[in-house]
Amino acid sequence: MSPKDVVEKIMRVYIEKGHRHYGENVTELEHALQAAEFAVQAGEPDNLVLSCLLHDYGHLLHDMGEEIAEQGIDACHEELGAKLLSKHFPKEIVEPTRLHVAAKRYLCWKDPEYFDALSRASRQSLQIQGGPMSDAEAKEFESNPYHELAVRVRQYDDMGKVEGMETRDINSYRDLMTRYLTLQSA
């Protein structure tokens, strides 16, 4: 599959399934675009912007419904998305997306006030994702070379829940995705 075909497939998934909600007041597509937009506004490097855009790609790949957290189901979307994205993107993009759920658990361990700032849906999913990390889990997380990037993705993830926020269109990220796919396949 060519880089162009891969990008078209990812775009198609966002366009066809991005209308879904996941317990927030924004759709999956709006959430992805907002997380990426906040990263762009903060001057983050392109690889982190792309991680923010793709961090919940796994949510779009399962057909378990939009209310799975309320049913106590963890679709492990971070692993599902990372598994597919790792076929096409470098680790510097995939690992922060794979670790963004662990980063939420880590931040809850590190800063009790972080938990208080989480949305209702994020608190609910936290419980089925294992709750705040233990000391041992946090130490292991900190030893991962991508943990700091994952924390930044998580922070933009938390911000990307603004109803009615204007962002750039998904198509504006086409060249960025293609550039990283081209580098990966070269």
Q: Is the pLDDT of residue 77 over 70?
A: no
pLDDT for the residue numbered 74: 46
| Residue 17 φ/ψ, nearest 5 degrees | -120, -5
Domain boundaries, the chain: 3-162
More confident residue, 111 or 129: 111
Q: What percent of the chain has pLDDT over 70?
A: 88
Most confident of 50-59, 62-71, 132-141: 132-141
Residue 30: how many CB atoms within 10 A of its CB?
21
The two counts, helices (H) then strands (E), for the chain are 11, 0
Q: Is the pLDDT of residue 66 over 60?
A: no
pLDDT for the residue numbered 80: 76
CA distance 42 to 21: 26
| DSSP state, residue 27 | B
With cut-offs at 50, 70 and 90, classify the pLDDT of residue 73.
very low
Q: Is the pLDDT of residue 72 over 50?
A: no
Mean predicted confidence (pLDDT) in 168-183 = 90
Short-list 126, 75, 67, CA closest to 101: 126
Mean residue pLDDT of the chain comes to 87
Short-list 84, 85, 104, CA closest to 150: 104
Helix axes of 91-98 and 100-110: crossing angle, nearest 10 degrees = 50
More confident residue, 99 or 129: 99
What is the reported pTM? 0.89
Q: Is the pLDDT of residue 67 over 80?
A: no
User: Could you tell me which CATH number the domain at 3-162 has?
Assistant: 1.10.3210.10
pLDDT for the residue numbered 25: 85
With cut-offs at 50, 70 and 90, classify the pLDDT of residue 163.
very high
8 Å CB contact between 59 and 79:
no
CA distance 2 to 182: 9
